[in-house]
Amino acid sequence: MEMNTYQKEAKATAIYPNDGNITYLALALCGEAGEVADKIKKVLRNKQGQFYAPDIAAIALELGDVLWYAANLANAIGYTLSDIAEINLQKINSRAQRGTLHGSGDNR
């Protein structure tokens, strides 16, 4: 699926308080990312890090929720997912060219 098409379809199903509220969307995105981490944590704890098909499928479902909130947050700040992807790749490629992929800070 094309990212901007997904974003439009995600927006069509967006029902949340204060429609377009950046704060709400950011917090929801963090919550969903936490659910991804929790699924992985439980595999590490309960299955000695062995990921099986049901574990992978559950993580994929949670990643879908992350994508849904990311799409709607991008929309709320006036960007398409394609814009966000392009900006990110430009940043990462610039870091790779300058040998600064490792390290910390946004402006490296």
The pLDDT tens digits of the residues spanning 10-19 come to 999 998 876 6
Stronger pLDDT, 50 or 104, i.e. the higher one: 50
Under 8 Å CB-to-CB from 33, ≥6 apart: which residues? 66
pLDDT at residue 103, as a whole number: 80
Domain ranges of the chain: 3-98
Contacts of 11 (CB under 8 A, 6+ apart): 71, 72, 75
> How far is 87 from 9, CA to CA, in rounded Å?
22
Distance CA 29, CA 93 (A): 25
pLDDT of residue 108 exceeding 80: no
Fold (CATH) for 3-98: Helix Hairpins (1.10.287)
> pLDDT tens, 24-77?
999 999 999 999 999 999 999 999 999 999 999 999 999 999 999 999 999 999
Q: What's the angle, vertex CA 75, arms to CA 71 and CA 81, rounded to 5? A: 50
